[in-house]
Chains A and B, each alone.
Chain A
Amino acid sequence: MSETTEALPTAVAPRTDATWLARPSIREAAWGIVFIGPWLIGLVLFTAGPMIVSLVMSLTNFDLVHPSAARFVGLDNYVRLAGDPSVIGSLIATIKFAVITIPLTMIASLGFALLLNHPKLLFKGPLRALVYMPVMIPLVASTLVWIGFLNTDTGWLNGILGALGLPRPDWINSQTWIYPALSIIGLWSIGNFMIINIAGLQSVPTELYEAARMDGAGAWTTFRRITIPLMSPVLLYNLVIVLIGTFQYFTQAYTMTNGRGDPNNATLFINLVLFREGFVFNHMGYAAAIAWLLFVIVLGLTLVLFAVARKRVYYAGGER
């Protein structure tokens, strides 16, 4: 560090003696605001401002082609939402997808975490990296790989199922099998959750396991009575993120059908409906209402999760 550092003034207003800015605490606060400035400006410009505007927009029939023809329509857009078959259909599709993909993601990421955190496992680092690796693959590219892998006739999964004498589902083109198919594709994003689970497993004090062993507890009891309760904050965090991701689902579904929502609108998830209304049909006011519906659902589910968690999640040392 050099001794001669007068390159920068130490306050917003440099050393104007008796002014209020010279007081260290105010000077410190001013610097703090300066440094978080980029975020504050961004918050107003790209988050808070647009949120308010989109709420207003959802009460109008605004579109980009005829901005001057925009009229205030009250709650019309929201009324229309309630009766729009594509919106209702997209919510049903999301639920069908969620009931498979959320448990699958949670179980698979915990399973891999338990396996790859096992004290007896060799080559832990490289093996964890391999499970994490698909997270790095661009979603479009990984979806294209899976489309081929799940192809009814030439895909390897059906090749393996056929060799085992099992039925060969029409994964991509069937309204029923598309949800398990998308859930299997989603497995390639468990890397983050697995790493977080491993960190959670490592934070469980080993004395607890030793004490349980002394008391003669088996592996399953230890898992249920010690691992799961102590992991519950981590599992809750993962669950919230998975849930939000499920409602934001877009890229894979769009790639698979070029945004058409095939088969028979089964993959027309809410985000695709929003994209279509807002940017294809140019119904911006209505699309804003869809966005707010999405927000309310996500917020509501998150709050419900936290409410349930208050009773069920164990926080060590009672913090939070």
Chain B
Amino acid sequence: MTAIATPVRSFGERGPIARSYRRYLGRASLTMFAVVMISAFLLPLLYMVTTAFQQPNQATTPGAPPWPAVAQTAVYQGQSYPVYAVPIDGTTRNLILIEKSRESSVVVDPSDAAAKPFVWQGRWRTLQQAWVFAPLIDNFTVAWNQLDFPRLLRNTVAISLLSTLGAVISSTLVAYGFARFRFPARNTMFVILIATIILPFQVTLLPTYVLFTWLGWNGTWLPLIIPHFFANAYNVFLLRQYFMSIPRELDEAAMIDGAGPFRILRSIIVPQSIAAITAVCLFHFFFAWNDFFVPLLYLASKPDLQPLSIAIQQYNALYSTQPTLIQASALMTMAVPLVVFVLAQRAFMRGVVVTGIEK
């Protein structure tokens, strides 16, 4: 991308400067349009952040601004008074209302200690209170403690890490099998693998639930982790595509050196595919982080073992009347995924393209 950064000296209709300026203006206005659209798209995030820092009753207070704020007060002669936005001569000044009466009131400027009170003509009831920016941290500490957030974080990280470990190891093995070995019915099996993508998980849900319950795994992490040790279609597909792009000559050279299949996988395929394996790790980690249905099924009655998703859903059911706490809990829940995404977004988005397109 080559943004034309020449300083604009001429706004004339012709000439190279004007032309490049116009071209730049076209690009800038298109970009501005995109920024506006995306801002609207992400506006709820701003709502979440501001609400999470607000006083509990701010949203329902008439005249309150959208950002975290408290009604301004000021001290005059040892007494605390509310501050109002008072329109005087076409401008609005924040003034202390010392004496309120129907048609006129006594006001004084809080920013100037030497200021003298004066009479303002007008109905004070029509005035808006002045607000000052005042972010509140309490929502986070309250939600943190009520949720026992460190425990939730620990559970979520442990479940996600273990199931990612299983998914990556098993999918790498299976993808290697599909990418490098000829065996009977290979293509049929690969089609079956891909077909499992459209298979609704509900069809296998009840018997698996019964099986896990009979095994005594209900109420443990095992149903959330063990099934991922048997590979899944998305990961295998992504890795297989990647493995197939690695030249076979490398395998053959290693084979001549006496390397067996596991050795080739370890010393050739995996080192060459770190990017794809990273993408699978990230995808699976956050799939597990965000998963709701399976933990709900097996851990609904086990608060000690629950991951974040279940806990904040139950938290919302309890405290839905306190949006400031709910938004604080939502912000805490999405913090880790969002930070990791910002750091690793290239790997993510490349992975989406590989799994989505190359079919």
Contact = CB atoms under 8 A, between A and B. Distances in A.
Interface of A: 1, 3-10, 25, 28-43, 45-47, 49-51, 53-54, 57, 64, 112, 115-116, 118, 120-125, 127-134, 136-142, 144-149, 151, 153-156, 159, 187, 191-192, 195-196, 199-200, 203, 234, 237, 240, 244, 247-248, 250-251, 254-255, 258, 271, 274, 278-279, 284, 287-288, 290-292, 294-295, 298-299, 302
11 contacts: A5-B254, A29-B182, A35-B181, A38-B170, A45-B230, A115-B33, A118-B30, A145-B48, A154-B60, A237-B359, A255-B316
A36 B353 contact: no
Given A46-B204, A127-B34, A141-B334, A38 B353 contact: no
A114 to B, nearest CB: 11
B262 interface: yes
A295 B203 contact: yes
A276 to B, nearest CB: 12
Contact of A130 (B42, B263, B308, B337): B42
B27 A247 contact: no
Given A36-B178, A50-B208, A287-B206, A146 B44 contact: yes
Contact of A39 (B170, B345, B359): B170
A9 B200 contact: no
A33 B346 CA distance: 34
Contacts of B87: none
B326 A122 contact: no
A39 B193 contact: yes
A120 B27 contact: yes
A131 B173 contact: no
B349 A148 contact: no
Given A36-B177, A47-B196, A136 B338 contact: yes
Contacts of A131: 38, 41
A187 B341 CA distance: 19
A219 B330 CA distance: 42
Interface string B315-358: 01100100100110111011001101110011011001100110
B357 A234 contact: yes
B178 to A, nearest CB: 6
B174 A39 contact: yes
Nearest to A149: B44
B93 interface: no
B114 interface: no
B183 A148 contact: no
Contact of B203 (A31, A38, A41, A54): A54
A146 B326 CA distance: 11
B337 to A, nearest CB: 5
A147 B331 CA distance: 14
Contact of B198 (A51, A244, A251): A244
B240 to A, nearest CB: 10
A54 to B, nearest CB: 5
Interface string B281-304: 000001001101100110000000
Contact of B174 (A35, A237, A287): A35
Nearest to B316: A144
A127 B33 CA distance: 11
A148 B47 contact: yes
Question: Which residue, A33, A141, A284, has most C-beta atoms of chain B within 10 A?
Answer: A141
Contact of A148 (B260, B326, B342): B326
B51 interface: yes
B322 to A, nearest CB: 11
Contacts of A196: 352-353, 356-357
B357 A144 contact: no
Contact of A133 (B254, B261, B341, B356): B341
A155 B254 CA distance: 63
Question: Which residue, A121, A125, A145, A274, has most C-beta atoms of chain B within 10 A?
Answer: A145
Closest 8 CB pairs of A and B: A42-B230, A35-B177, A32-B181, A32-B183, A196-B356, A50-B204, A29-B183, A53-B207
A140 B334 CA distance: 10
Nearest to A144: B330
B189 interface: yes
Nearest to B23: A120
Question: Which residue, A51, A129, A140, A234, has most C-beta atoms of chain B within 10 A?
Answer: A140
Contacts of B345: 129, 132-133
Interface in B160-191: 170, 173-174, 176-178, 180-184, 186, 189
A34 B308 CA distance: 37
A64 B218 CA distance: 12
A284 B189 contact: no
Contacts of B203: 50-51, 54, 291-292, 294-295
A151 to B, nearest CB: 7
Nearest to B323: A148
A127 to B, nearest CB: 6
Nearest to B332: A141
B200 A36 contact: no
Given A32-B181, A247-B200, 5 more contacts: A3-B257, A28-B183, A134-B42, A137-B290, A288-B206
B312 interface: yes
Question: Which residue, A29, A144, A240, has most C-beta atoms of chain B within 10 A?
Answer: A144
B330 A121 contact: no
Given A138-B337, A145-B330, A279 B297 contact: yes
Given A137-B337, A148-B327, A196-B352, A7 B200 contact: no
A294 B201 CA distance: 10
B241 to A, nearest CB: 13
Given A47-B204, A116-B34, A302-B198, A145 B47 contact: yes
Contact of A9 (B59, B213, B260): B260
Contacts of B312: 140-141, 144
